[in-house]
Structure 1
């Protein structure tokens, strides 16, 4: 991790750099604002707010992607409030223990890691749910609620949309996990649980499960029909008539579905190979099903 220390008290700056260096940080020191702009990308910028006669705001703007921690001698609007509003992440009051500074750095390291992971998962889910639409009115849903869908992705879309609409974060638990009951028990009482694979639960375990989730904020999904009294059950069918026919599909319907949904992704040679048929057979099936290949 690369750290820039902007401090006109050279002894203090060198002391901080030495202690951080012992922990594996790569540190550079600038004694003035002007010296800070070297075209180098830093993970952390330790910025003194009492460098006489120098404007710290260009530093905050230039290193907006870094963690800017203010080093202040006293707390005021000019040393803390305004710089934080301008984009600095935190402050530390001089004199300080190096352990406290490291704690702040590690905190923002973890925050940035989780932020990046969250953005990655969000992009993945957006792509994963592309083309999956649900028509249920989320405003009229009050957990606990069971979702019965022949296609798991539709139940997932419902749960994530409900959480987003209501400003909640989901705690995901699969009943196929042997520790599922324990995970449900340990989950915070106010959390919104998304529990999948109800269809995999043994009949003997269903009553204990229902007792366990009683009065909890839960969304439970099943790929089978749900027969549970006293709770709201929502059935969601996929837009594809293929998936609505059951788990075992007729070969002709399967081939038709694959051709319709994947002919734009694979050339005919590869598509026919994946289906285990010749290109001529693929052409004949298009003609039979009235499928026009898009150019």
Structure 2
């Protein structure tokens, strides 16, 4: 990390910089507020709040996109509360161990990166589901809830919208994952789960899935229109097929869609011929996509 140390006690500043550079960080020292305002970017700023007669708030404003840790001699509104309201991230009280400072830097850097990543995902998801004009899930809906739809994306949109409106997160589980049942069992009963790929399970596996999902706050999705369940059911049936939804499918997505939706309509010989592949390739693709042929 590139770190600016704003401290007028030069011996202390040099000591901190030396220890940080020993573990691979690049450090610069400013002994005055004026020096700290130069037009340069830093990953982190260590800002002393007791530089005599100097207003340190311009440093917070100048480097507000950096991680700012206040180095304080005592805790008060002037040294902690007000600077944090102005944009500082955290504080550390002198004298401090360098290990404690590094712990705070790592924690704040991880938080900053995760926050940016989360904002990016939110923007992407919002854009992805912008075209899905669906009636939202009623907050009074009884769980577990089974969504039956001919378009997976619609169920995804409903779940993301429900979580956003409820101001909560959810755990995503695909029933094709080897540890899916274990993850469901471990989940707290008040934890929101989003479970997909029910249509790919054999009948015996579906019975097991229903058993472990009983009593959970779970939303389950199946693209099998004939799915039977004792849970609450929400059906989303659009007249247009998946290929009319405005999305361009990859070859793999297209093949997966055709195999799942037409394997019971055509024998394997005819289905593989329509896809332009051999029966062996058809079997391999079923295995790859986790599609079980219903008997």
Band of TM-score, shorter chain: 0.7 to 0.9
SS of equivalent residue, structure 2 residue 126: helix
Give CA-to-partner distance per residue, 1:67-106, whole Å, 9 cap, x none: 1100000001110111111111000010001000000000
- Give 1:207 deviation, angstroms: 2.3
- Give 1:113 deviation, angstroms: 1.3
SS of equivalent residue, structure 1 residue 92: strand
CA contact (8 A) 2:136 2:162 kept: no
The count of aligned residue pairs is 247
Counterpart CA distance in 1 for 2:16 and 2:190 is: 43
Please state if 1:120 is matched with 2:120.
Answer: yes
- Give 1:188 deviation, angstroms: 4.1
Q: 1:42 — aligned with what?
A: 42
Give CA-to-partner distance per residue, 1:234-277, whole Å, 9 cap, x none: 00123x5234xxxxxxxxxx6xx59x888xxxxxxxxxxxxxxx
- Give 1:227 deviation, angstroms: 1.2
| Bigger mean CA deviation after superposition, 42-51 or 210-219 | 210-219
CA contact (8 A) 2:68 2:89 kept: yes
Counterpart CA distance in 2 for 1:20 and 1:77 is: 29
Counterpart CA distance in 2 for 1:158 and 1:12 is: 55
Q: 1:85 — aligned with what?
A: 85
Counterpart CA distance in 2 for 1:138 and 1:60 is: 44
Alignment CA distance shift 1:170-1:261 (3 Å):
closer
CA contact (8 A) 2:137 2:158 kept: no
Counterpart CA distance in 2 for 1:34 and 1:237 is: 65
TM-score scaled by structure 2?
0.79
Q: 2:154 — aligned with what?
A: 154
- Give 1:23 deviation, angstroms: 1.4
List aligned pairs for 1:225-264, cutoff 5 A. Answer: 225=225, 226-229=227-230, 231-238=231-238, 241-243=240-242, 257=244
List aligned pairs for 1:215-294, cutoff 5 A. Answer: 215-225=215-225, 226-229=227-230, 231-238=231-238, 241-243=240-242, 257=244
SS of equivalent residue, structure 2 residue 132: coil
Counterpart CA distance in 2 for 1:187 and 1:67 is: 35
Counterpart CA distance in 2 for 1:98 and 1:189 is: 42
TM-score scaled by structure 1?
0.79
Please state if 1:142 is matched with 2:142.
Answer: yes
Counterpart CA distance in 2 for 1:45 and 1:28 is: 10
Please state if 1:211 is matched with 2:211.
Answer: yes
Alignment CA distance shift 1:140-1:93 (3 Å):
same
Gaps of 5+ in 2: 249-295
Q: 2:291 — aligned with what?
A: none
Please state if 1:73 is matched with 2:73.
Answer: yes
List aligned pairs for 1:188-199, cutoff 5 A. Answer: 188-199=188-199
Q: 1:111 — aligned with what?
A: 111
Counterpart CA distance in 2 for 1:136 and 1:5 is: 51
SS of equivalent residue, structure 1 residue 140: coil
SS of equivalent residue, structure 2 residue 139: helix
Counterpart CA distance in 2 for 1:10 and 1:211 is: 67
Gaps of 5+ in 1: 244-253, 263-295
- Give 1:185 deviation, angstroms: 2.4
SS of equivalent residue, structure 1 residue 169: coil
Q: 2:284 — aligned with what?
A: none
Counterpart CA distance in 1 for 2:105 and 2:173 is: 32
List aligned pairs for 1:159-174, cutoff 5 A. Answer: 159-174=159-174
SS of equivalent residue, structure 2 residue 234: strand
Please state if 1:54 is matched with 2:58.
Answer: no
Counterpart CA distance in 1 for 2:68 and 2:148 is: 49
